């Protein structure tokens, strides 16, 4: 009887000990989870603080570019923009701010080919060929011919230009022979429609028939998507002082001498070209002067501001499209895109600052 009582007492003591151990383990686990939750909450609060700081600093970078563009209007002559201007030199160093870093860069978007200029279409009326009794002669537009040359110089198919024209125009008539309208896009998986309106971003180009990410990457440094007023025939001209090499090489119907392009690229780093006729002579172009004057300029109205800020573990990058109105001496933000990866600080490639 006593043995049974002793065994029962020992068993109860073992159960009690296991219960105490279980409670201790449970409390320890709860303590760990509570501490982890607190750490997560602290980390989340820190990230939110850093994100708010980074965004405000990135916005300040955008304003920095805007002010530099406004000050540039005080230069002589104010209608000329080149790579020696203040706005073009903003990406030379990283700016340290309290607990963070920032880098700012301005890029002249007017130095690139504006895809929305193709809203003019493939064929246009030749000036002076129409009379009261006859219809004007139709010719390829200067912007269409230029884009086909740019595609060819970059190793891409010239026929892609037809698909871009169809993507932009408001009708559903296919530009022959290589255009693409809704009948093509509706057969895709999933189906979609042609935009029939100007590009908002050049990233949309991958949706156009014949284009993909690889072709877009080739075109990316040389093209842009800027507002145009097709009703007033107001198209953005190419600033020769800031145009990329491929854009310069596509100015002429004949092949532009790469040696002359190289000399011109070196020359414009040291001085600005105030007249487009000077560039025409420097590159020994044979393009008709009327067409050259139609597509070329030495000044700019549109710029992109690339502002990157890093605080703690948070990156915020802003890419803003700015329009500078020289007449009213003001800079307006047309669009703003926000990203969460600044990449390398400072940027190792002017065309990939984000």
Q: Is the domain of 99 the same as that of 142? A: no
Identify the band that residue 139 occupies on the pLDDT scale cut at 50, 70 and 90. confident
Residue 302 pLDDT > 90, yes or no?
yes
Q: How many whole angstroms separate alpha carbon 175 and alpha carbon 196?
A: 13
**CATH number for the domain including 138?**
1.10.40.60
Q: Residue 193: inside a domain, yes or no?
A: yes
Of 6-15, 64-73, 213-222, least confident by mean pLDDT is 6-15
122, part of any domain? no
Residues 6+ apart with CB under 8 A from 138: 123, 124, 125, 126
Residue 147 has pLDDT above 60, yes or no: yes
Q: Are residues 3 and 51 both part of a single domain?
A: yes
Q: Given 238, 253, 284, which residue is the final one in a domain?
A: 238
253 domain-assigned: no
Least confident of 5-14, 69-78, 192-201, 319-328: 5-14
Note the pLDDT of residue 263: 95
Query: Between residues 93 and 122, which one has the greater pLDDT?
Result: 122
Query: Which of the pair, 231 or 331, is modelled with greater confidence?
Result: 331
Q: pLDDT tens for residues 88-98?
A: 998 767 888 88
d(CA 210, CA 146): 19
- The answer to whether the CB of 211 falls within 8 A of the CB of 203 is no
Confidence of residue 270 (pLDDT cuts 50, 70, 90): confident
Whether 202 is in a domain gets the answer: yes
Strands 238-239 and 95-97 come out as unpaired
Is residue 63 domain-shared with residue 6, that is, in the same domain? yes
- Whether the Cβ atoms of residue 282 and residue 253 lie closer than 8 Å to each other: no
Q: How many helices (H) and strands (E) does the chain have?
A: 9, 11
DSSP secondary structure letter of residue 85: S
What's the total number of domains in the chain?
Answer: 2
Which segments of the chain does DSSP mark as H helices, in order?
A: 2-72, 142-153, 160-168, 182-185, 213-219, 245-249, 258-270, 276-282, 289-295
Give me the sign of the Cα torsion angle 140, 141, 147, 149: positive
Last residue of a domain, one of 204, 221, 238: 238
Of 191, 219, 238, which one is at a domain's C-terminal end? 238
Q: Please indicate, yes or no, whether residues 174 and 233 belong to a single structural domain of this protein.
A: yes
pLDDT at 29: 78
In this prediction, residue 354 carries a pLDDT of 32
Same domain, 17 and 90: yes
Domain that holds residue 145: 132-238
Q: Are residues 78 and 178 in the same domain?
A: no
- Say if 263 falls within a structural domain: no
Report if residue 245 sits inside a domain: no
In the chain the first and final C-alpha atoms are separated, in Å, by 85
pLDDT band at 353 (very low <50, low <70, confident <90, very high): very low
Q: Is residue 64 included in any domain, yes or no?
A: yes
pTM summary value: 0.84
Same domain, 48 and 143: no
Q: What is the CATH number of the domain that holds 107?
A: 3.30.1300.30
pLDDT at 232: 58
Residue 350 has pLDDT above 50, yes or no: no
Round to whole Å and give the CA distance between 235 and 215: 25
Residue 271 in any domain: the answer is no
């Amino acid at each position: 009887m006593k043995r049974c009582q002793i065994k029962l007492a020992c068993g109860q003591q073992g159960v009690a000990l296991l219960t105490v151990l279980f409670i201790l383990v449970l409390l320890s686990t709860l303590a760990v989870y509570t501490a982890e939750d607190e750490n997560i909450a602290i980390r989340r609060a820190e990230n939110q603080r850093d994100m708010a700081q980074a965004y405000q600093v990135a916005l300040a970078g955008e304003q920095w570019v805007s002010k530099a563009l406004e000050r540039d209007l005080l230069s002589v002559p104010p209608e000329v923009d080149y790579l020696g201007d203040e706005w073009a030199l903003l990406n030379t160093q990283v700016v340290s701010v309290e607990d963070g870093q920032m880098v700012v860069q301005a890029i002249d978007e007017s130095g690139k080919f504006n895809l929305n200029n193709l809203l003019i279409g493939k064929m246009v009326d030749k000036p002076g060929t129409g009379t009261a009794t006859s219809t004007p002669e139709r010719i390829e537009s200067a912007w269409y011919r230029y884009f086909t040359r740019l595609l060819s110089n970059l190793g891409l198919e010239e026929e892609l230009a037809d698909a871009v024209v169809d993507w932009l125009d408001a009708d559903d008539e296919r530009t022959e022979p290589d255009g693409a309208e809704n009948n093509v896009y509706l057969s895709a998986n999933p189906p979609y429609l042609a935009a029939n309106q100007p590009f908002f971003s050049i990233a949309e180009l991958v949706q156009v028939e014949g284009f993909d990410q690889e072709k877009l990457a080739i075109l990316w440094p040389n093209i842009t998507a800027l507002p145009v007023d097709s009703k007033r025939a107001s198209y953005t001209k190419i600033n020769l002082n800031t145009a990329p090499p491929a854009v310069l090489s596509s100015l002429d119907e004949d092949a532009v001498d790469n040696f002359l392009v190289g000399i011109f690229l070196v020359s414009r780093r040291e001085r600005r070209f105030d007249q487009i006729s000077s560039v025409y002579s420097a590159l020994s172009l044979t393009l008709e002067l009327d067409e050259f004057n139609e597509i070329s300029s030495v000044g700019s109205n549109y710029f992109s501001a690339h502002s990157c800020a890093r605080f703690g573990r948070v990156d915020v990058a802003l890419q803003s499209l700015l329009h500078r109105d020289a007449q009213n001496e003001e800079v307006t933000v047309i669009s703003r895109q926000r990203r969460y990866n600044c990449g390398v600080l400072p940027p190792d490639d002017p065309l990939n600052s984000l």
